[in-house]
A and B are shown apart, each in its own frame.
Chain A
Amino acid sequence: MPEKFDCIVVGAGPAGTACAYELAKAGVNVLLLERGEYPGSKNVMGGVLYRKMMEDIIPEFYKEAPLERPIVEQRFMLMDKESAVTFSYKGLEWGREPYNNFTVLRAKFDQWFAEKAVEQGALLVCETVALECIVEKGRVVGVRTDRPDGEVYADVVVLADGVNSLLAKQLGFHREWRPDEVALAVMEIVKLDKKVIEERFNLEPEQGCTIELLGDATKGILGTGFLYTNKDTLSIGVGTLLSGLIKHKIKPYELLEYVKNHPMIRPYLQGSEPVEYLAHLIPEGGYHSMPKVVGDGVLVVGDAAQLVNAIHREGSNMAMTSGRLAAETIIMAKTYNDFSESMLDHYRLKLMESFIVQDLKKYKDATHHFDAFPQYFERYIPLLNRAASHMFTVDGASKWEKQKKIWRDLGSVKEKLKLARDVFKAWEVMK
């Protein structure tokens, strides 16, 4: 490979590929490095792919991209041991253009997306680890890879190396993440007949459904489970803060089995066969955990910059938009031939103004609040289930009596006041 590029992008996930695609399209000479056998081979999709941010890069991508199902229904289950309060929105407008989001399998999708960047002129090199940034006089001027004679140089380096961003850490952009800044997600892809999926989830052919699972799905530990429909597989998984697993001394794969066998979930999976088991970290520190994202000759995008909205399970969309904004900045920097931190800082400013940081700001205290006050998951979700059970059980008791019973179930006056305070606090961190 030639020794010097205009730009090196480390990591061919959604953030890095989006960036490389935009750069190559603008005629920038870009090298896209991927440590896996192929793009996506190290990636896990415990979420959905949102149409809008992908379309900002490739209009009408859904006509050719390897997608699983467009989502027409999003359900939420607040679970107790043998019950669940469920709410959902189903809208058929999501089943046609412009779609809202899709389930995807990342090994397929990321390969396709990276191939698109190659078509635009990016040079994709797989099976190559970027070991460290080459820094000269305080400026990032390239990366050292694990290939023989593996030093490559560039005007600017984009770090899209994901949640385990060893390179951003090496540059001192952030210290090591704390266990309460990352969620460990484990998931299984299970095979199930197409028609069975559609019948079981009440779907027309090709349509999809997502279910988010809260409460007993994670045994009351802060986190969520998820059950998503793919074409002829389901993705079933569970993600909790690493600190929660440590505190409760729970094995993640046992938690996964617990969800799979939960009486509210088991019927969906009946007859299915596991085909892949996956684990991955999700950066969930939010706004307070965002690292420095710009330096002399270097930008940080996607998971490496902690750009995940855990409350709305958004991440790959933020990754793509951050990659695109980084590319726009690099294209501008190239016209001035200035890759200093002050020039590249335009990327940070664009990020701050975009929905990405606006949304991270909105929920900046949410995860920490629910982490610090476990009663939301441990106590209030079971309480809600009992209240629903009382109210909907017809046994000759009047509805007034039932309300009284529910009221008593809320506990002493002190406990009721605490509940009212907690509801208010939850509203405050979410508003």
Chain B
Amino acid sequence: MGGDEIMSHLPTIEEKQYLVRFNADTKSHLHVLDHDICLTKCPDKICTIFCPAAVYKWEGTRMHVGYEGCHECGSCRIGCPYENIRWEYPRGGHGIVFRLG
């Protein structure tokens, strides 16, 4: 990609995520504890904004969690105003694999 192209086209988060290697587990390590809290108490759905991998997507009535693309940074656990996310490490060897760092 040339410099001019960078200027005319801002890469989306999806394109950024393509740069990363994931060894996703078959089950999620991120759990929204109570979907009602997201629906009724959290108008901002702030996790959909600050998550650096856009793992959280609001689908009208329910929070969808695309754990496969998680960077395991921990922001959602700390940043959720209702402590409504159970956050664990993915199983050993699974999850994100940085090649460079």
List residues of chain B with CB within 8 A of the CB of A182.
Answer: 74-75, 78
Contact indicator A272/B3 (Cβ below 8 Å) = yes
List residues of chain B with CB within 8 A of the CB of A245.
Answer: 49-50, 79
Contact indicator B72/A110 (Cβ below 8 Å) = no
Confirm or deny: B2 has a beta carbon within 8 angstroms of a beta carbon on chain A.
yes
Contact indicator A179/B79 (Cβ below 8 Å) = yes
Which residue of A107, A188, A189, A249 is within 8 Å of B44 (Cβ)? Answer: A249
Which residue of A36, A145, A176, A266 is within 8 Å of B7 (Cβ)? Answer: A266
The docked-state distance in angstroms from the alpha carbon of A145 to that of B92 is 9
Of chain B, the residue at the smallest CB distance from A252 is B52
List residues of chain A with CB within 8 A of the CB of B27.
Answer: none
B 44-101 contacts with A by CB, 8 A: 44, 46, 49-50, 52-54, 71-75, 77-79, 83, 87-93, 95-101
Confirm or deny: B17 has a beta carbon within 8 angstroms of a beta carbon on chain A.
yes
Contact indicator A271/B2 (Cβ below 8 Å) = yes
Contact indicator B6/A43 (Cβ below 8 Å) = no
The docked-state distance in angstroms from the alpha carbon of A184 to that of B95 is 19
A 320-365 contacts with B by CB, 8 A: none
Contact indicator B73/A280 (Cβ below 8 Å) = yes
The docked-state distance in angstroms from the alpha carbon of A251 to that of B46 is 10
Contact indicator A253/B16 (Cβ below 8 Å) = yes
List residues of chain A with CB within 8 A of the CB of B6.
Answer: 260-261, 266, 269-270, 272
The docked-state distance in angstroms from the alpha carbon of A71 to that of B92 is 35
Contact indicator A275/B100 (Cβ below 8 Å) = yes
Contact indicator B50/A106 (Cβ below 8 Å) = no
A 189-242 contacts with B by CB, 8 A: 189, 233, 242
Confirm or deny: A97 has a beta carbon within 8 angstroms of a beta carbon on chain B.
no
Confirm or deny: A277 has a beta carbon within 8 angstroms of a beta carbon on chain B.
yes
Closest 9 CB pairs of A and B: A127-B93, A106-B101, A270-B3, A279-B52, A277-B16, A164-B74, A107-B101, A127-B92, A279-B71
Which residues of B approach A to under 8 Å, CB–CB? 1-3, 6-7, 10-11, 13, 16-17, 19-20, 23, 44, 46, 49-50, 52-54, 71-75, 77-79, 83, 87-93, 95-101
